[in-house]
Amino acid sequence: MVSQTEIVVLGAGIVGLCSALQLQRQGFEVTLIDRHSGPGRETSHGNAGLIQPDGFPPILFPRDWKTFASYATNQRNDCVYQFSALWKLAPALFKYWQMSRTSSAERIVAANLPLFTSCVEDHMEIAKEAGVKDSFRSSGWTRVFRNESNFEAYSKKIRALAGYGVNAEVLSPSELQELEPGVQIIAAGAVRLTDQLSLASPLKLSKAYFDLFLKNGGRFEVGDARTLVMKGPFQYAVRTERQNIESKHVVVCMGPWSGDLLKHFGIHLPMFVKRGYHIHFSTTDNVGLRHPTSDADGGYSLTPMDDGIRLNTGVEFAGRDSPSSNIQLARVIPLAREFFPLGDQREARPWVGSRPCLPDMLPLIGPSPKHPGLWFSFGHAHHGLTLAASTGRLLAEMMKGVTPFTDPTPYNLARFQ
């Protein structure tokens, strides 16, 4: 059986879902395809649930030797690497290092700002339609520091961002105690980024967006996106479990798996992943965690969620499909227990996921110049949940041919070719 659709979106993570919804808003008929039988089951499920409008400064590869050396010893909590993966990751990491100059940082901030500035509003528009506006908690995100000089340095950095509209409160240890009575370490101080929002379940958000997509007339099919073929300009076909689907346009939103498909089209990107773990804990002594809080010097974050207190780790450089490693969690769980009265660990095995990264820490949004009708939206790295509604809007405006709300040039494929 063959069926026709205007646009196929490959990947039903938060980026694919928001792209599909924004395309519907522009009047397109959309079919969403994923290898799983439901939406949001991969990276978009396991994250820390934060919407971070202040996340526009890029997370750069360290270029000063002192910091670099501290990473090289592989003894840090916030960032570890699997030695066996390094040779494979080396070319992409070298590009990441190259693109982490101070001059690049300014360019990346300028490119990021329009997306981050509109991220809350764009989510809210979709969330309102989906009836889940209240899922976005006005929690802020509190970063607690054990070390005085790290606290001073971070406070200074955040104060410097005030000119960009970043709102933050610097908290003394007693103010932190009032905000988060369960924190049981003697902190040097804390900084609360007040504009951040958080979710109690990123998966529930994906499901609500998915229901809206179906309600708006969208179709969902289970299938392997790697069956996609280009038969000619604006002629694509992909096989699902039920049928072959033909379309004029295809959007690749496969997060960390996007590169696998693009290779079939002769597009080789310096993509890499920053893996991260989560595990849930119950609370003890009736002390609940009130807000998302990170132990900044400990290198992990805690978010109150439906499944318990979710502990998310920082970054692990490893192959996307490499076996999980216990190293980072083994380092941070004792610190977390010292930081907050955590109860039982709720799962025997942690979840592991992969932040899809490009070396300049900007997503890839736009068309393939050599494949008319093929479009991309992936590479959202640390901020896919935050940015999905806005990058979806940008993509949909480009595909519709209306003036996009921001210049799409910084996100195009040409920067890697």
Ligand X SMILES: Cc1cc2nc3c(=O)[nH]c(=O)nc-3n(C[C@H](O)[C@H](O)[C@H](O)COP(=O)(O)OP(=O)(O)OC[C@H]3O[C@@H](n4cnc5c(N)ncnc54)[C@H](O)[C@@H]3O)c2cc1C
Binding ligand X by CB under 6 A: which of 115, 188, 191, 254? 254
Residue 97 vs 351, nearer CB to ligand X:
351
Binding ligand X by CB under 6 A: which of 8, 42, 108, 210? 42
Binding ligand X by CB under 6 A: which of 168, 187, 225, 305? 225
Binding ligand X by CB under 6 A: which of 8, 16, 155, 339? 16
Q: Binding-site residue total for ligand X (CB under 6 A)?
A: 43
Residue 223 vs 373, nearer CB to ligand X:
223
From 29-37, 59-67, 132-140, 393-401, span contacting ligand X (CB under 6 A): 29-37
From 37-45, 62-70, 120-128, 244-252, span contacting ligand X (CB under 6 A): 37-45
From 94-102, 124-132, 254-262, 404-412, span contacting ligand X (CB under 6 A): 254-262
Binding ligand X by CB under 6 A: which of 24, 312, 391, 412? 312
Residue 175 vs 290, nearer CB to ligand X:
290
Per-residue interface string for the shown chain with ligand X, residues 332-371, x marking contact by CB under 6 A: ---------------------x-xx---------------
The answer to the question of residue 295 lying near ligand X (CB under 6 A) is no
Residue 259 vs 404, nearer CB to ligand X:
259
The answer to the question of residue 255 lying near ligand X (CB under 6 A) is yes
Residue 146 vs 380, nearer CB to ligand X:
380
The answer to the question of residue 384 lying near ligand X (CB under 6 A) is yes
**Token pair of 222 as six digits:** 């289970």
Binding ligand X by CB under 6 A: which of 5, 7, 8, 13? 13
The answer to the question of residue 385 lying near ligand X (CB under 6 A) is yes
Binding ligand X by CB under 6 A: which of 21, 30, 50, 399? 50
Distances (CA, A) of 164 to 112, 114, 159, 167: 12, 11, 10, 9
Cβ proximity of 85 and 322 under 8 Å: yes
The answer to the question of residue 23 lying near ligand X (CB under 6 A) is no
Q: Which of residues 234-253 bind ligand X (CB under 6 A)?
A: 253
Binding ligand X by CB under 6 A: which of 143, 291, 382, 393? 382
Residue 321 CA to residue 381 CA, distance in Å, equals 17
Per-residue interface string for the shown chain with ligand X, residues 173-212, x marking contact by CB under 6 A: ----------------------------------------
The answer to the question of residue 396 lying near ligand X (CB under 6 A) is no
Q: Give residues with Cβ within 8 angstroms of 270, minimum separation 6.
A: 91, 92, 95, 96, 358, 359, 416
Strands 2-10 and 244-252: parallel
The answer to the question of residue 294 lying near ligand X (CB under 6 A) is no
Residue 192 CA to residue 81 CA, distance in Å, equals 29
| Chain residues in the site for ligand X (CB under 6 A) | 10-16, 33-36, 41-44, 46-50, 52, 224-226, 253-257, 276, 278, 312, 353, 355-356, 378, 380-386
